[in-house]
A and B are shown apart, each in its own frame.
Chain A
Amino acid sequence: MQLNMCLKIKIVFFISLIFSLNNYAQVSVTGILLEKGTRKPLSEVNIFLLPAKLKATTDSEGKFVFPIVKNDKFQIIVNNTGYFKFQKTFSRTSQPLKLYIEKEYYDVFETVVTGTGIKKDITKKTLSQKDFLKAPGAQEDPVKAVQNLPGVANQSFSSKIVVQGSAPDDTRYTLGGHEIPLVFHLGGLTSVVSPTAIDSVEFLSAGYGPEYGRALGGIINLNTRTPKVDRWHGEAFLDITKTGILAEGPINERSSLLISGRISYFGTILKKIAETKDEFSVTSAPEFKDLYLKYNYKISKSEDFSLDGILSEDTLAFIVKESVDPNFEGNITNNTNFFRIIPSYSKIINDKNNYKLSLGYGDDKIKFNIGDRYFDLDTTTLSQRFLWENKKSKKLTQYYGIDSLYRKYRTQIRLPNVNTQGGIRTAGGEETIADIKGSYWESAIFFRNIYKYSDKWTFSPNARVEYFSSVKTFYLMPRLSVTYSLNNSTDLNFAFGQYYQAPQNGEGTEEFGNPDLLSERSDHYYLSIIKDFRGGASNGAQLDLGVFYKNLDNLIIQTTEKRSDGTPIRNTNNGTGKVLGAQLQTSYKKGAYTFLASYTYLNSTRRDNSSIQYPSQFDQTHNLNLIGVLEKSRWSYSTRLRFVSGAPYTPVIGSIYSSDRDIYLPTRGEFYSKRFENFIQLDFRIDRKFVYRSWLLSVYLDIQNITNNKNGQGISYNFDYSKSEASAGIPIFPTIGLRGEF
């Protein structure tokens, strides 16, 4: 036994020696293949080793192994579609290799023409992050990029989106389906969530489904991104008005977090402007800050929990030493802030049933002071959404949902009464001094069916029933959409919907408005044809052509009528309106070139007290956007040409001097009987991406109104309205931005 054991040891030693010598001559080469800049592991990629002519394929983590490599020096080649060819010589090493291959295009501008096939809302347009980050003239802003879509009016200075000739307050803004009070900071400067935290922006213009309500016009919904889970990522950006950071990554195997924050320095620019004016001085620069947070937790394979949190604040303070109206002189301060916390839970019960429940809670505060006058609004909002999807059969899918909102408010006000009929503001007169507390709730149940009757026909009869406590009324709102597929690439669509919107902004209160008001109503009709000419290829054309009609009833209008005791009625439901239009969106892509055109024809009219019909303030007859994009390696060039018919305005035909107030009162002419000049703007944008091994740097130059067109979309009058001139719009306005990400 002793000898045998000794022999065994010798044999093992000998074999080990042979193998170790062999290993010295032939080593295994291991490594990982990553995308340059993003460090994303690339799986299923073939890697070649020369001259041995060996091939390895990366696994799901991007790792590869060449088990036996005999050569002292060897060459590795990676030739993967969509990436630049990688070719490099290495000396033999036992250390794992880290290979970075560079993508040909990191962000490709994508067109947004609605595709064919079954979809819930046929008018829904979705802008992905790639679309809005590179949209010319939008300064990387997701909501501004919506203006490139058909049906959206041109608004030079506005914090609201005007949809198909409806009033700005008829558009509802939501974050993950929950209402938020505003989408823009500082009257339209930028949206309230960091653009790169947003996954997509949904825009619904007409005939949308029963999940949506409380808006006569359109819906803008921001969908935020799920945090990345592969590793921690960071991002910092900077442009001439603001800066911010974003970080995201996994907390543990089940949960991940995204957090972003921005702060502006726009006020410094405004202060410089203010220094040139005697009439006002800026005491606290207009600034904003926002914070966004998203937490994701994977409870189980079929259950997910997420939490969205948003905090936004805008501040502004200045002194108006002199204004046309003495009521609006003095120290003016404004602070607008809000927050929302939106937890949501989703569960897949089985392959036929799933549901999602989400809540929204938050406060909105507006504090506005002019001298010793004030407007303080404090609201607390609780909202809830529930959606159950039930796939009854291959042909029928049903959705059931609840959409509720409760709001408690307190308004403290001491401001002069102001009337703005015809868009012309009267001088501030007697003050309203009030302290109003109250609450209201709006709750809806909705029901959607998607019934695929045949390969050709899909029907979606839907309904929403909603109760508005402010007007103490139930409303049944039928919705319908029908799709007829002519072939694989062509769909004909029809949608109808009825919408109600309760009085808002105090219109229904005794102090500011009329407690007898009813909800406003709108009926939408939409007919469209969608054609995809690409035949499955990435190059080619797409077309979306639609006509729409909206009938508006019970519109709330201002009135000069009084009750018998002399109290003003202020508002009535005597307004009606009609909106008729057509919209076209088409795109064409060929290689590195992309062209996009959107055009809207609009005829939007209003009628007050059944008197003469006049154009709506937002009736922009023609609205054309032409976009061209060229992408070449790390460079991207894009341009946008906008042509928009001048919006109507009411001329001032004279004035009467108010001796007591030292102000001229304008005499209104025929409502909206004149139009501003047509709006023509050419924007240009260059993007350059620098790709480093472990991070990316993007630089862009965005020049708005490169031809410096005056684009006057307003009128300035002298003190007694006897002289006027067009106000200048945004002049040539270059923006430079930097974004670094790892």
Chain B
Amino acid sequence: MKLCVIPIILIIFLACGDNFDKKSKLAGLRILAISANTPEINSAGTVLLTPLISYVNGASANLNYTWEACPDPGIDFGANVSCDNSSAALKLSGAGTFSIATLAATHNTGNATTLSVAVPAAAFTYLATLNSKTKFNGLDYMVILKYIDQASGVNSTAIKMIKLSTKTSAQLNTNPTTGNIQFKGADLTSYPSSEGDMSVSNLSSSENYDLDTDIGIQTKSENMFVSWYSSTGKFLFNRSKFGEKNTFTPDGNTGVFVIIYRDSRGGVTSNLTSF
């Protein structure tokens, strides 16, 4: 039995349910990340979004996908993830299909069809009406992407924020970069046969950026972290910070490994290795 006799402050942070699969375990339909070619923009234009999806159990499944986009309705403050209340001039939408079979070689895991999101000029007009802090820090232009398995109805929904701001082009955020997945200090070239440390080579360092706050402009540093996934075996942690290693315990001899590297303000990059 789980012993949860701990103060409330700990309870906030601890999940007492250890019986669940870890987040790093790939099996069902999942959107693992959506990366934008330009995570932050200062003028209207097209942003290319690349979803990284996984459906290990969904061999040869055909997926329908829909997407819509609008300014963030205030999710941090409790608003539902929806564009229903957004004005039509600020909204975009699209749809399509995607066959998981195209990812069969990598255990049904990999990049799906890229979406073109033409952020309208009206969104920047709207930005101009907002308070100075939002203008400087940026308005989140939210893209809601949903995949549905045509046969089973299994679905997965994710959101991606494109930051609209008034910063100069040089100040705009860019995606971080990453190297290869490594096992015990060397590039991962075969499925691990024993437990060992995993890491990622050539991770780009955090960048500094300015943030307009209630105490003025503050220079902050990005909080870089790696998310780990595998279809077999088990990672000790779902996430690790820049430079930190993770421990992997293998199970079997095949599987797909995915790492996603984020900069905590919309920049995303990923790497995938499959055996």
> Chain A: residues with CB nearer than 8 A to chain B?
157-159, 186-189, 270, 273, 277-280, 286, 316, 318, 320-324, 326, 328-329, 332, 334, 416-419, 421, 426, 428-436, 511, 558-560, 562, 564-568, 570, 656-662, 665, 667, 710, 714, 716-720, 723-725, 727-731, 733
Interchain CB contact under 8 A, A320 and B13: yes
In the assembled complex, the CB of B174 is this many whole angstroms from the nearest CB of chain A, namely 14
Q: Are B34 and A659 in contact (CB under 8 A)?
A: yes
Q: Given A656-B157, A659-B31, A725-B19, are A568 and B9 also a contact pair (CB < 8 Å)?
A: no
B208 to chain A, nearest CB (A): 13
Contacts of A186 in B (CB 8 A): 7
Do A567 and B131 form a contact, CB below 8 Å, given A434-B215, A727-B17, A730-B5?
Answer: yes
Complex interface: chain B residues within 8 A of A332 (CB): 13
Contact at B4–A187, with CB atoms within 8 Å? no
A717-B17 contact, Cβ under 8 Å, with A157-B8, A187-B8, A728-B2: yes
A428 to B78, CA, bound (A): 11
CA distance A430 to B265 in the complex (A): 9
| Residue ID in chain B nearest A725 by CB atoms | B17
* Chain A residues positioned under 8 Å from B17 (CB to CB): 716-718, 723-725, 727
Cα-based distance from A286 to B6 in the complex (angstroms): 10
* Contact B225 A326, beta carbon cutoff 8 Å: yes
Would you call B218 and A433 a contact (CB within 8 A)? yes
Given A429-B75, A429-B76, A727-B17, A318 contacting B10 (CB threshold 8 A)? yes
Q: Are A187 and B7 closer than 8 Å at their CB atoms?
A: yes
Q: Which residue of B lies closest to A413 (CB)?
A: B214
- Check: B268 CB closer than 8 A to any chain A CB: yes
Whether B158 lies near A566 (C-beta < 8 A) is: no
Does B15 belong to the interface (CB within 8 Å)?
Answer: yes
Q: CB-CB < 8 A to B9: which residues of A?
A: 187, 286, 316, 334
Provide the main secondary structure of the chain A interface. Answer: loop
Specify the chain B residue showing the minimal Cβ separation from A266.
Answer: B7
- How far is the CB of A169 from the nearest CB of chain B, in Å? 14
A157 touches B7 (CB 8 A): yes
**Interface with A: B98-106, B110-118, B188-196, B235-243, which one?**
B235-243
Known A426-B78, A659-B158: A280·B31 in contact at CB below 8 Å: no
Given contacts A566-B139, A568-B77, contact A435 B7 (CB under 8 A): no
Nearest B residue to A663 by beta-carbon distance? B23
Instruction: Please state if A322 and B158 are interface contacts (CB–CB under 8 Å).
Output: no
Contacts of B12 in A (CB 8 A): 328
Question: Please, could you name 7 A-B residue pairs with CB atoms under 8 Å apart, sorted by A?
Answer: A189-B7, A270-B10, A429-B76, A433-B215, A435-B214, A659-B33, A665-B159
Contact between A657 and B1 (Cβ–Cβ < 8 Å)?
Answer: no
Q: How many residues on the B side are at the interface (Cβ–Cβ under 8 A)?
A: 68
Of A570, A716, A717, A731, the residue contacting B77 (CB under 8 A) is: A570
Chain A's nearest CB lies how many Å from the CB of B44? Answer: 18
Measured in the bound complex, the distance between the Cα atoms of B80 and A416 in whole Å is 18
Tell me the minimal C-beta distance from B247 to chain A in angstroms.
9
Q: Report Cα–Cα, A418/B75, bound state, in Å.
A: 10
Residue from B80, B159, B218 within 8 A of A658 (CB atoms): B159
Question: Are B31's CB and A511's CB within 8 A?
Answer: no
Top 8 closest A-B pairs, CB basis?
A: A429-B76, A716-B17, A433-B213, A718-B20, A187-B8, A419-B78, A434-B214, A719-B23
* B20, A270: Cβ atoms closer than 8 Å: no
Determine the chain A residues whose CB is within 8 A of the CB of B30 once the complex forms: 657
User: Which of A273, A665, A717 is within 8 Å of B3, CB to CB?
Assistant: A273
Which listed residue (A326, A511, A560, A570) contacts B239, Cβ 8 A?
A326
Which residues from chain B contact A661 at a C-beta distance below 8 Å?
A: 264
| A270 vs B7: C-alpha distance when bound (angstroms) | 9
Partner of A322, one of B5, B6, B239: B239
Question: Which residue of B7, B80, B130, B223 is within 8 Å of A188 (Cβ)?
Answer: B7
Contacts A157-B11, A434-B215, A728-B4 hold; do A662 and B77 have CB atoms under 8 A apart?
no
User: Can you name the residue of chain B whose Cβ is closest to the Cβ of A336?
Assistant: B9
Contacts of B31 in A (CB 8 A): 657, 659
Is there contact, CB below 8 Å, between A426 and B215?
no
Q: How far apart are the CA atoms of A430 and B264 in the complex, in Å?
A: 10
Give 11 A-B pairs besides A326-B223, A657-B156 with Cβ atoms closer than 8 angstroms. Answer: A157-B11, A186-B7, A187-B8, A280-B14, A323-B14, A326-B264, A428-B76, A564-B129, A565-B130, A716-B16, A731-B1
Which of these, B6, B15, B131, B213, contacts A273 with CB under 8 Å? B6
The answer, yes or no, to whether B37 is at the interface (CB within 8 Å) is no
Q: State which of B78, B130, B213, B214 has its C-beta within 8 Å of the C-beta of A421.
A: B78
A511 touches which one: B156, B211, B214 (CB < 8 A)? Answer: B214
Query: Complex formed: what's the CA distance from A559 to B76 in Å?
Result: 11
| Centre residue among A658, A659, A718, A729 by max chain B CB count within 10 A | A659
Q: In the assembled complex, which residues on chain B have CB atoms less than 8 Å from the CB atom of A158? A: 8
For window 155-187 of B, CB contacts with A under 8 Å fall at: 156-161
Give chain A nearest CB distance to B195 CB in angstroms.
14
Task: Report A-chain residues with C-beta under 8 Å of the C-beta of B21.
Answer: 718
Specify which chain B residues have a CB less than 8 angstroms from the CB of A567 in the assembled complex.
Answer: 131, 133-134
B-side contacts of A568, CB under 8 Å: 74, 77
- Residues in A with CB closer than 8 Å to B14 are 277, 279-280, 323
A320 to B34, CA, bound (A): 27
**A324 in contact with B15 (CB, 8 Å):** yes
Does B260 belong to the interface (CB within 8 Å)? yes
Q: Which residue of A lies closest to B130 (CB)?
A: A566
| B92 interfacial contact with A, CB 8 Å | no
Whether A660 lies near B4 (C-beta < 8 A) is no
Given the contacts A657-B159, A727-B4, A662 and B81 also touching, CB distance less than 8 Å? no
Task: State the CA gap A430–B137 with chains docked (Å).
Answer: 10
Q: How near does chain B come to A337, taking the closest CB pair, in angstroms? A: 15
Q: Are B80 and A417 in contact (CB under 8 A)?
A: no
Question: Which of A322, A660, A731 is B237 in contact with, Cβ under 8 Å?
Answer: A322
Residues of the A chain whose Cβ atoms lie less than 8 Å from the Cβ of B4: 727-730
**How long is the Cα–Cα vector from A159 to B6 in the complex, in angstroms?**
12
CB-defined contacts of B211 to chain A, threshold 8 Å: 431, 433
- The closest CB in chain A to the CB of B225 belongs to A326
Q: Are B158 and A658 touching (Cβ within 8 A)?
A: yes
B78, chain A: closest CB distance, angstroms: 4
Q: Which residue of the partner chain B has the closest CB to A718?
A: B20
Residue of A nearest to B143 (CB): A659
- Per the bound structure, the CA–CA distance linking A417 and B77 in Å amounts to 7
Q: Is B91 an interface residue (CB 8 A)?
A: no
Asked if residues A321 and B237 are in contact (CB atoms below 8 Å), the reply is yes
Complex CA–CA separation, A434 to B214 (angstroms): 5
Nearest chain B CB to A733's CB is how many angstroms away? Answer: 7
Q: Which of A418, A433, A436, A566 has the most CB of B within 10 A?
A: A566
Q: When chains A and B are docked, how far (Å) is the Cα of A562 from the Cα of B73?
A: 9
Kindly name the residue among A567, A662, A710 whose own CB sees the greatest number of chain B CB atoms within 10 A: A662
Determine whether the beta carbon of A723 is less than 8 Å from that of B81.
Answer: no
**For residue A570, which residues in chain B have a CB less than 8 angstroms away from its CB?**
77
Residues from chain A with Cβ under 8 Å of B266 in the complex: 660
User: How many whole Å from A729's CB to the nearest CB in chain B?
Assistant: 7
Q: Is B245 an interface residue (CB 8 A)?
A: no
Partner of B81, one of A157, A656, A725: A656
In the complex, what distance in Å separates the CA atom of A279 from the CA atom of B223?
Answer: 19
- Of all chain B residues, the one with the shortest Cβ separation from A660 is B266
Given contacts A659-B160, A660-B266, A728-B2, whether A419 and B77 have CB atoms under 8 Å apart is yes
Q: How far is the CB of A702 from chain B (nearest CB, A)?
A: 14
> Is B79 in the interface zone, CB < 8 Å from A?
yes
Given A326-B239, A731-B3 in contact, is the A560-B77 Cβ separation under 8 Å? yes
Q: Write out the residue numbers on chain A whose beta carbons fall within 8 Å of the beta carbon of B156.
A: 657
Distance between Cα atoms of A716 and B239 in the complex (Å)? 20
Point out the residues of chain B lying under 8 angstroms from A324, CB to CB: 15
